[in-house]
Amino acid sequence: MTDTGKAVFLSYASQDAAAARSICETLRTAGIEVWFDQSELRGGDAWDQRIRLQIRDCALFVPIISANTASRPEGYFRLEWDLADQRSHRVARNRTFIVPVCIDATADSGGDVPEAFLKVHWTRLPNGATPATFCSHIAALLAPPESALHTPAAAVVATAPRPAVPHKPGRWLPVAIAAALIVSAAIGWQMWRMRAPQGGGGASGTGNAASTAAPTVAANGTGASAPAAPDKSIAVLPFVDMSEKHDQEYFSDGLSEELIDHLAHNPALKVIARTSSFAFKGKNEDMRTIAGALGVAHLLEGSVRKAGTAMRITAQLIRASDGAHLWSETYDRKLSDVFKVQDEIAATVASALNATLGAGPLVPARPVSTEVHNLFLQGLFFSRRSTIEGTHAAEGYFLQALKLDPEYAAAWAALARTYAWDVQFGNSPAAEVTERARAAARTALKLDPRITESYTVLAMIASSYDYDWPAADAALRQALAIDPHDAEALRGAALVAWAHADLERTIRLLNEALEYDPLRAETRLNLGGVLYAAGRYQESLAALRTAESIAPGGVKVHFFLGVVMMKLGRRAEARALISAETGPWYRLAGEAMLADVEGRRADADAALTTLVRDYGDGSAAQLAEVYAQRGDLDSAFKWLERGYRARDSGIRWLKADPLYAPLRNDPRYLPLLRKIRLTGN
């Protein structure tokens, strides 16, 4: 290798040498320089030093992951991986450095790899078989930055943020809420993919998606063209951490979130929710493209740069139609003041936006100490990760903040939401942590009744755990009275309406939520589900395909698509879609249903046996659906009763889910419906 600064470093376990050699030779044939020389793997200080230099200087680091690497607790490749992981923290977020390759069926969750490897999509090259599309992808990553936007769709897939591995279904918190954690990382790269030429090699999760243009993301969720953005509309893009050590990301993200919160309290403005705005984090996108995807006329962007004991923060307001800068400002502050002045900066920026856009006054933020605010922002940062570890780290930071300032309402609300997520991950006792979430949310509201997040957490508990629909409805009404555009509250209200089989109201509320959070994949998934329940199958397919295009690895989307295809009699398509489902409990349920429809009873029984063995009460709702569809009503009601005791959120749809329709004339149906406090009309 002659120039490590333009080369690829292949890291592999000795057992995978043959596969690594195949990848190396294919890349070299394509004119790409690769560091790979098996004859030199003999150890020693000189060799060790050379490897360290290569990892320091190479352009791309390609770890080869397999069952062999996963099973080895020690190995020199692990040192290489650790060195690459350390270097990744110094690499700009808009630059790809690590490109993981898996050569067998090893799951992301079982690979035993550094955290940096889990933040990007893994390329699957079985036994080292390397297609031309992968070579093109690597060549594009090695090309100068100005060519990055022309990377073909197949190439983008390999560096896409990795959808998190789905967990066992939660006891009461809807799976779609957990999907919010999974989806946010996948949205940004998918918007890039939607603009790229659609060639072979895509990884949308279905067999034919790579050859089909992704549907237009529109406010109505059906793929139709979006209306013109209102003039008083804005999205706050995540501020970029430009610090030399990239150690202020939690601050830059927190600043962006506080700006969103400040602006969202203004009824004169349409403000896009965090989930959708943060879809473009680390992306060098055209402003008009971003604004078009989000349905806004203005964008706010900025950066944070740390130098010694000083910090410089820049912010600018951009009119998307022509890229004109309507307002900009630079703030120079000492590090000792950085957290204290964050509220000042947020208020100043928001005030300038309001003056420019002609909106009303802001609601002032409660002042907190620098140390407490620092802990709170770090808690928010970790709470946005789709991992059990991140959730527990967030809980720790919030509890530390509250120990220092027990009256910090925002920290109580964030802690309540984090407890709720902890239940969904299935890592803590449902009853115990649910009560913690309830108590934290109520404490937040006593301290500050304007925090809508507290109401949405209480509504989730009331609907999914207590089956107290009036309480859920009341909490959501209070949230929407404070902020009529709160996308999460609108979505929560839609789910309450759906549980009551008020399908038209559900559809209206979901479409309204999508106006303010257009890239929230689970909202589009919900829309596809309720359109299916309403018998509007083509509209359902359009909404589900949109959800798929936003988050190809999202749980449940391929199950829903497969169910709709079964309803339409398109069994071959249903089979392909269900096999691509990332939630194993949904995949097994779909396989059992389809096997029953096709008369393959032994295959259906095998899928059901696996579902019961591996997921049990956590998949009670799915088991009840399968047994209802095959006409085994006794088994269906048995699993519904078990789901009720386990607080499986899926049984909330007993009244509205068409898959439960065969149960509705059974004398056991109405008593069960009353147990979950739904009427039998």
Rounded mean pLDDT for each run of 10 residues along the chain, 681 residues in total = 68 89 88 72 64 87 92 87 87 82 79 82 84 81 54 33 43 40 34 29 29 37 58 89 81 85 79 89 81 91 78 84 82 69 63 59 63 88 78 91 94 93 67 90 95 94 92 96 93 96 96 94 95 95 93 89 95 94 93 96 96 90 96 96 89 94 96 88 48
Together in a domain, 237 and 155:
no
- 12 with 113, same domain: the answer is yes
DSSP sequence for 180-243: HHHHHHHHHHHHHHHHS---TT--SSSSSGGGSPPPP--TTSSSPPPPPPPSSEEEEPPPEE--
Q: How open is the CA angle 245-248-252, to the nearest 5 degrees?
A: 140
The CA radius of gyration of the chain, in Å to the nearest whole number, is: 25
Domain boundary among 105, 133, 159: 159
Distance CA 19, CA 89 (A): 28
Choose the final residue of a domain: 319, 343, 363: 363
Exposure pattern of 518-529 as b/e (b: 16+ CB <10 Å)?
A: bbbbbbbbbbbb
Whether 478 is covered by a domain: the verdict is: no
Hey, what are 250's tokens? 């939690």
**Is residue 255 included in any domain, yes or no?**
yes
The CA distance from 263 to 524, in Å, is 25
Alpha helices in 12-146 (DSSP H): 17-29, 45-57, 67-71, 76-88, 115-118, 132-142
> For position 356, what pLDDT does the model report?
60
Give the list of residues 6+ apart from residue 637 with CB closer than 8 angstroms, or none. 624, 663, 666, 668, 672
Domain that holds residue 62: 4-159
Same domain, 151 and 245: no
pLDDT for position 201: 28
Based on the fold, state whether residues 590 and 679 are members of the same structural domain: yes
Q: Are strands 233-236 and 298-307 parallel, antiparallel or unpaired?
A: parallel
Dihedral Cα 473, 478, 481, 485, nearest 10 deg: -70
3-state secondary structure of 494: helix
User: Does some domain include residue 356?
Assistant: yes
* DSSP conformation class of 40: G
Residue 617, helix vs strand vs coil:
helix
Q: Where are the alpha helices (DSSP H) in 570-668?
A: 571-579, 584-597, 601-615, 620-630, 633-646
**Max CA distance (Å), the chain:** 79
| Cα distances (angstroms) measured from residue 599 to each of 568, 578, 605 | 17, 17, 11
Distance (Å) of CA 332 to CA 335, 346, 359, 510: 10, 14, 27, 42
DSSP 8-state symbol, 648: -
Q: Is residue 397 part of a domain?
A: no
Is 108 a member of any domain?
yes
Distance of CA 547 to the CA centre of its chain: 12
Q: How far is CA 574 from the centre of its chain?
A: 25
CB 159 within 8 A of CB 134: no
Instruction: Say if residue 286 is in the same domain as residue 154.
Output: no
Q: In angstroms, how far is CA 114 from the centroid of its own chain?
A: 20
Residues 103 and 8 in one domain: yes
- For the chain, how many structural domains are there in total? 3
Q: Report the CATH number that the domain containing residue 296 is assigned in CATH.
A: 3.40.50.10610
How do 324-334 and 310-319 pair as beta strands? Answer: antiparallel
E strand spans, 400-518: none
* Closest of 510, 496, 569, 584 to residue 544, by C-alpha: 510
What CA–CA distances, in Å, run from 49 to 53, 85, 218? 6, 17, 54
> 282, 286, 376, 355: which is closest to 323 by C-alpha?
286
Same domain, 148 and 9: yes
Give the model's pLDDT for residue 617.
84
Both 87 and 231 in a single domain?
A: no
Backbone angles phi, psi at 236, to 5 degrees: -95, 110
Residue 272 is predicted with a pLDDT of 93
What is the reported pLDDT for 90? 80
| 178 found inside a domain | no
Q: Which tokens sit at 427?
A: 């890592």
State which of 159, 183, 213 marks the end of a domain.
159
Check which CATH number belongs to the domain holding 124 and give it. 3.40.50.10140
Report how far residue 578's alpha carbon sits from residue 344's, in angstroms, rounded to the nearest whole number: 51
Work out whether strand 310-319 and strand 298-307 pair parallel, antiparallel, or are unpaired.
antiparallel
Tell me: do 245 and 103 sit in the same domain: no
Is 53 contained in some domain?
Answer: yes
- Verify that 28 and 135 share a domain, yes or no: yes
Task: Tell whether 98 and 231 lie within a shared domain.
Answer: no
Assigned domain for 265 exists: yes
With beta carbons less than 8 A apart as the criterion, state whether 558 and 544 touch: no
Identify whether residues 29 and 132 lie together within a single domain.
yes
